[in-house]
Structure 1
Amino acid sequence: MNFKQAIDAFKSSGDRTIINYIMAAVENDFMSDRTRDRVKDGTASGGIRIELEHDYEYVSYSIRAMRELLMRHVEMEYDEEIPELDNFQRLLSRIDYDFDIEFNGEIYGGNGDRISYYKITPELFADLEKHMDEIEEWFPDYEYRYFMRLFARFKAVEESRRAEVTNRKQELEESAVKALEYALKYVDISKSEKEIVKYINLTFKSKLADDEIKRNGMRRIQRQAGIKRQSYVVKPYFPEDSDYAIIGRSINLSVLTKGQREFIRDVSAIIEEDKKAGDTSNYSCDIDGEVIISRKYIAEKLGIREDLVRKKLERIKKKL
């Protein structure tokens, strides 16, 4: 099957050949491809041009680029502000320079005073373990014990980070497949291969970005801005005063009827319960992320009709 036929097979019968091809090719070493080149495209960093053998590989390349971008925050980069990391790096430098013990440590920086910064990797710890007898001989007893404490601590941190990377890659692969299925479902195969690839990549990126937004507790909302609809990505949050999550302003209970006060207290109780649980699923939000409770949700929780909820709130607003 060619590219279009494989997509059509997925659309018509659910044949996953095209998805399997695309996801397998994601692991190709695109960075080493001899045709890969940076070109001027009007952006500050420029664009990338690459010539690939198969049409589906352009989708794979796009997925790989998106994955690398999303994985940056979980890669094995260590903040120099981590407590005692400087001390660990200082002791590693002593082992390297003062004791002249060679170990598999990749240097990525330093301060110029015979103190280097070594990447924290499994290879670093595995190689240091081979030299522990020699290291123990060189360090004074108290300093060796301190080194071993830091060694165990940062080895555990590294293993935790590695597990996070593995889990995150798995999550991204699952999200990528879902986003790819969505894009393939709606692509028009009467278009050219180039147009098909462009549509799949744009749709895939948008869908994956939305999935990432949800995963991080964010939300994409749209609001009218003049003649255009403006898209915002916000972090929903509960206001300190639950009144603002009901009508967007403070409520003076003294001007309300007994029934209206009871209604507001009941709704406030719902909001406070959700606030403790961190559940914003039944709330809309403004462009700052402040939530407003859904009228439908109020009706469901209180066991009354939604139109009655709307009328109660309208009457309350008129009294304020």
Structure 2
Amino acid sequence: MENNIQRLIYAFQTQGDRTIIRKITEYMSEDLHLDSNRKVTQNGKITLSFDDHLAFIAYRINALRYMLFQTERFRVNSYGLDFEDLYWYRKGIRQGLGYDLTPEDGFTAYFEHYDEIRDYLDSTTFSQLGEFIRCYILYLNDAQTIRDARKDTESSVIIPALEYALSKVNTSRSVKEIVRYVNRAFLTEFTRIQMEMNGTKRLGRQVNGSYRNVYVQPIYREGDAWRMIFGDEVSEVGVDTALSHLTTKQRELVDSLYAVIVDDFKGEQTSDRYKVDENGMYRIKFRYMAQRIEIEESNLRKRLRTIQEKISRLSSD
């Protein structure tokens, strides 16, 4: 029977009632990819058929979650384990010595009866068993880490993105419009949160009159503070040479800027304090920097431009 999706969303928006989130997450735990839910039209287009419109939202979330969990961060068994080997090792040791090699207890029997198992097996098989157990223990540790990461991702990315989408949708729209909007808003917020967690920045750019997004991974390397102050040409001139050509007042200014930048990046306080260009390189935000060193923004711009022009002339000499 179809849920009253408008009523559930309205209850969430006005009363904080999380029934709709619980229902969607329950659908997410089901296998929504069953053939009974999928139909293929004559032109080859795949359509979905669910009794409850909330299942369409869950299906879309599961598709994104599946793609996320295929990334390197969530991969399991990178050790080349053949899990069928465990069955044969356990069977052989159990029949021959009466001990059971169970991964649930960390293969305790292997370590407690190490000498006896070594004497029972030929040297090659014993060596292979030891390597298998070593890799299996690493696999178990990785698997638990990944399960924790998946659980954390659901609570820190998927649920917040769903909450955002449900909080923004207009409940006066039709059910189909609501589902379409929620799916679209979820994707937008899901992407935003993921980028924020990964440190990726989205830059808006005008290209030939049209707007496009550019995604970059910011980079901060040793020495970048001087590049942010002097400009890119400092790599040709050298920091020591650049500093030696400054007046006393100019040196005081760049020392103040350098101290702020180093302190910010040491404490990883950079998200709203610096700009990022299309190459992922950090740039100074003059308003923020002027506040930090307590001078007028226009004055900072003028003085720093003078310094950078001086360094640029040095690089061209």
Q: Secondary structure at the match of 1:29?
A: coil
Match of 1:176? 158
- Which residue of 3, 11, 20 corresponds with 2:22? 20
Percent identity, please. Answer: 28
Q: Output the CA distance in 2 between the equivalents of 1:47 and 1:244.
A: 53
Q: 8 Å contact 1:241–1:250 — kept in the other structure?
A: no
Matched, 1:246 2:229: yes
2:216 is matched by which residue type in structure 1? Answer: V
Q: Output the CA distance in 2 between the equivalents of 1:219 and 1:12.
A: 33
- Cα separation, partners in 2 of 1:244 and 1:76, compared to 1, 3 Å: closer
- Contiguous gaps of at least 5 residues in structure 1: 104-122
- Which residue of 158, 162, 166 corresponds with 2:147? 166
Q: 8 Å contact 1:236–1:280 — kept in the other structure?
A: no
1:313 is matched by which residue type in structure 2? Answer: L
Please report how far the alpha carbon of residue 49 of structure 1 lies from its aligned counterpart in structure 2 after TM superposition: 2.2
Matched, 1:51 2:49: yes
Matched, 1:271 2:261: yes
Alpha-carbon deviations, 1:124-157, whole Å to 9, x = none?
946996997997576324751x335423422222
With normalisation by structure 1, the TM-score equals 0.74
Match of 2:293? 302
- Which residue of 205, 216, 219 corresponds with 2:187? 205
Q: Output the CA distance in 1 between the equivalents of 2:24 and 2:69.
A: 19
Please report how far the alpha carbon of residue 54 of structure 1 lies from its aligned counterpart in structure 2 after TM superposition: 0.8
Count of residues in Structure 1 that have an aligned counterpart in Structure 2:
288
Q: Secondary structure at the match of 1:261?
A: helix
Higher mean alpha-carbon deviation, 18-27 vs 291-300, is at 291-300
1:64 is matched by which residue type in structure 2? Answer: N
- Cα separation, partners in 2 of 1:13 and 1:289, compared to 1, 3 Å: same
Alpha-carbon deviations, 1:14-33, whole Å to 9, x = none?
22222221122111111225
Q: Output the CA distance in 2 between the equivalents of 1:287 and 1:72.
A: 28
1:18 is matched by which residue type in structure 2? Answer: I
Please report how far the alpha carbon of residue 280 of structure 1 lies from its aligned counterpart in structure 2 after TM superposition: 3.4
Matched, 1:217 2:194: no
- Which residue of 291, 305, 309 corresponds with 1:314? 305
Match of 1:233? 215
Higher helix share goes to which structure? Answer: 2
Q: Output the CA distance in 2 between the equivalents of 1:5 and 1:14.
A: 12
Higher mean alpha-carbon deviation, 278-287 vs 221-230, is at 278-287
Higher mean alpha-carbon deviation, 234-243 vs 218-227, is at 234-243
1:198 is matched by which residue type in structure 2? Answer: R
Q: Output the CA distance in 1 between the equivalents of 2:191 and 2:102.
A: 35
